Amino acid sequence: MSEGAYTAGRAGEPHGHIKSFVRRAGRMSEAQERYYAEMMPRIGVPYAAAPLDLDATFGRRAGKILEIGFGMGETTAKIAETCPGNDYLGVEVHTPGVGALCKLIATRELANLRICQHDAVEVVRHMLAVDSLDGIHIFFPDPWHKKRHNKRRLIQPPFVALLASRLKPGGYLHCATDWEEYGAQMLEVLSAEPALQ
């Protein structure tokens, strides 16, 4: 079965989920490889199907922000640099992007940023406790342009409900897209989630 295909649910889960990403065989630059090897043992958060102690992960109590799908990491690094009072957990599946963000973390000496290289749905479902996040950022997720692929879009009612359950009271979910039709769907899905009112 190819990446991006439907995956069956694990024991105890009512449904599998349709992956919103396809692993691409992108190549890392030498610098990305070097920083990945150097930094991931220090700032990488291994996936585990168990709740993550976010305060212990960052070594302090601070606002906790989840960034899903950070791409090459430039925006994530800039936000973390601008807001050192918050801690950021970036989740990304693509190795070149993880390597690029590792480089930014090292060169900018960012102590408030960690990376989990895994499927965001599984990370949220299994690693993040209810009421554990102050905010969630999802910037420019894959719009899956073709109609037959719309089911792969990340912003769907079940996932938004899951995300909302992880937000503390007063927390926020910030989504952005440059694809107008996906933006309309996002607005519809987010507006329909009662926990986000």
Percent pLDDT > 90 in the chain is 75
- What does the pLDDT look like over 69-116, one tens digit per residue? 999 999 999 999 999 999 999 999 999 999 999 999 999 999 999 999
The whole-number pLDDT of residue 18 equals 59
Confidence of residue 143 (pLDDT cuts 50, 70, 90): low
* pLDDT category of residue 26 using cuts at 50, 70 and 90: confident
Taking every pair of C-alpha atoms in the chain, what is the biggest distance, in angstroms? Answer: 47
Provide long-range contacts, Cβ within 8 A and 24+ apart, for 163-167: 163/124, 163/136, 164/193, 164/195, 164/196, 165/130, 165/131, 165/195, 166/66, 166/124, 166/128, 166/129, 166/130, 166/131, 166/132, 166/133, 166/136, 167/131, 167/133, 167/134, 167/135, 167/136, 167/195
Concatenated DSSP letters of 35-69: HHHHHHHHHB----SS---HHHHHTS--EEEEEE-
Catalytic residues: 142
What count of other Cβ atoms lies within 10 Å of the Cβ of residue 39?
Answer: 19
- Residue 21: is its pLDDT beyond 90? no
Q: Which residue, 168, 89, 88, is CA-closest to 131?
A: 168
Each domain of the chain, given as residue ranges in start order, spans 6-196
Instruction: Give 82 or 186, the one with higher predicted confidence.
Output: 82
| Token pair in block for residue 6 | 């439907």
Q: Which CATH class is domain 6-196?
A: alpha beta
Are 146 and 75 contacting, i.e. CB atoms less than 8 angstroms apart?
no
104: exposed, middle or buried (Cβ count in 10 Å: 0-12, 13-18, 19+): buried
